[in-house]
Chains A and B, each alone.
Chain A
Amino acid sequence: MDILVVLENRNGALHRMSLEAIAAAQSLARDLNLTVAALAWGPQAKDLAREAATKRVDEVLSLEHELLEKYSSDGYAEAIKQVIEQEAPRYVLVGHTYMVRDYFPKVSARIRKPFVGDVVAYRIEDGSPVFTRQVFNAKLVVDVAPQVAPPVLVSFQSATFQADAVEAGTAPVRDITVALEAEQIKTQSEPPFQEAAGDVDLSSAEVIVSVGRGIGKEENIPLAGELAEAMGAELGSSRPVVDAGWLPSSRQVGSSGQSVAPKLYFALGISGAIQHVVGMKGSKNVVAINKDPEAPIFEIADYGVVGDLLEIVPKLTEAIKEQS
């Protein structure tokens, strides 16, 4: 095949970002007239293969191995290295998940091929794709091109392609094998656990008032709390506010917190770092208040105010209370 999509398991089914990676592969295959294979592997590889076989791909590869039942960066990198050597794809596509961030640079190091990570767009130039990445806190973007012979490893940022845009089809499944030894895995892992069980379900909230670093200090948090109360909204936050201990981690929106899709996401003093945006860019409407006119949050906001939220928010809360 030409394009290999490496899938990921999330609770026994395909990870949403793996579906997005399949959509990316279908798009690239259309543009360049290429064939696509999807790799189902690790725990429940057979189930993932069955699910992947209902998508429009040319082939599904199924890989089971005792040493892949549990994630390790060494084992996973070695397995993908061997699959790439056996199957010789030109493009290896994945979603930019936490797992990919951990082991894909290792694959790049071992096969000495480029890993273009966290891509937000691609376009074809002279018959080859050029990939666009966000740099400088997502304030700028850069076009990146591989400089060596294929393959190139590419991960796509969450929501760059749409999971529901994946075309359905029927694909044959082929079993493949790799040779792994326990000694190749340097690390020992314990079972994953959930920290501070989420007592707040932001994912079903209709309105979220969310606080970022721009709130300034802990004593100002109630200003946002009062606005949320007046609007019947849930209070959310970006990572720095949780790291500072001003709000509990159960309120955190973003790649390391919850993903939300409210009718209104009201961003107060949130700069709009990628890690935050991936968790809220499904919001129907975004209103942002920030004192920095160049804050990337304004890139995705429907309505923006450049100003001091400490002045605006209390006045707004008052005005909303008068309305009701």
Chain B
Amino acid sequence: MKIAVLVKQVPGSESALRVGTEEQWVDESALDFEMNESDSYALEEALLIKEKSAAGGEVVVVSMGPPERTPKVIREALAKGADRGIHIHEEPPYENDPFLIAGIFASALRDEQFDLLLSGLQSADLATGQTGVILGEFLEMATATLVMATELQDGSIKVKRELESGWSQWITLPLPASITIQSGLNQPRYPSLRGIMGAKKKEIKVLSKADLIAGNTPLQSWERLYVHKKEKRTEMIEGDLNQVVDQLVNVLRTEIKVL
């Protein structure tokens, strides 16, 4: 089993975000980046699939981004047990069209002939949820999204897909396949000290986005990034603990009338 996992570095969920001066991206200067949440579940699932597979295999972690934050996320994955990494070197401005991004990954991965491609269902920053599917199409793989469980079979993989309102469905995909992983399907491991030490010796191949993009241009592009003007005015309740509680009781009783 040769498995690729697509991981992304995104601002931590409690980061205070500021729009950058060009209104094209966030100001990264004060941000901490971490592995996108659903990607860390995808990585764990890849490691579990490899460990359960009798023939063993290889887990390759792939990430695109600038050298300041990308190798850190790849090293984290290597420390958890991925076998090697591919870093697609990207300088700003960062691509935001999922079709173009999938094309870049397709160029990087096509010759590797992966059996399985795992990614998180969507990234916290762009939130398109499209890259894994489009990449699967480009590499002529079967695809499935929002996957909640996997069972590797002979020449195929059976996955449980999440549908709406608590419904699910099992589907079987022939290999090679690209599947996007929903958060919560496993318990991502912590890297061991040995894993962290071992990760330093593992290979990270560096590719350049500029080479892989091959003159392609985006199908859609960001015009302007900004803070949404709220339609609804939120009344903020302030003060010390007792004042806050008194005001809350008052609102619940006299404004919303639920007490």
Contacts and interface: CB of A to CB of B under 8 A. Distances in A.
A316 B146 contact: no
A73 B218 CA distance: 24
Nearest to B237: A305
Contacts, number: 243
Residue of B144, B165, B224, B255 with highest tally of chain A CB at under 10 A: B165
Nearest to A314: B245
Interface residues on A, range: 35 or more
Interface stretch (B108-116, B168-176, B199-207): B168-176
A209 B33 CA distance: 32
Contacts of A304: 234-237
A22 to B, nearest CB: 19
Interface of A is mostly: mixed
B220 A145 contact: yes
Given A136-B125, A299-B228, A196 B173 contact: no
Interface string A295-307: 0001111111111
Nearest to B103: A109
B163 interface: yes
Nearest to A15: B164
B147 to A, nearest CB: 10
B13 A264 contact: no
B130 A130 contact: no
Given A190-B169, A193-B169, A305 B244 contact: yes
B48 interface: no
Residue of A130, A135, A191, A271 with highest tally of chain B CB at under 10 A: A135
B135 to A, nearest CB: 9
Nearest to A311: B241
Contacts of B258: 206-207, 231, 263-264
Contact of A147 (B217, B237, B242): B217
Interface of B is mostly: mixed
A106 interface: yes
B133 A146 contact: no
B169 A191 contact: yes
Contacts of A301: 232, 234
A152 B218 CA distance: 13
Interface string A191-202: 111111010000
A256 interface: yes
B171 A187 contact: yes
Interface of B: 11, 13-14, 16-17, 19, 26, 96-99, 102, 124-130, 133-134, 137-138, 142-146, 161-174, 182-184, 217-228, 230, 232, 234-238, 241-242, 244-246, 248-249, 251-253, 255-256, 258-259
Given A73-B145, A192-B168, 19 more contacts: A73-B144, A102-B145, A115-B98, A118-B129, A136-B11, A136-B124, A142-B223, A147-B218, A188-B171, A191-B169, A240-B184, A243-B184, A250-B166, A263-B256, A287-B256, A303-B235, A307-B241, A312-B245, A323-B259
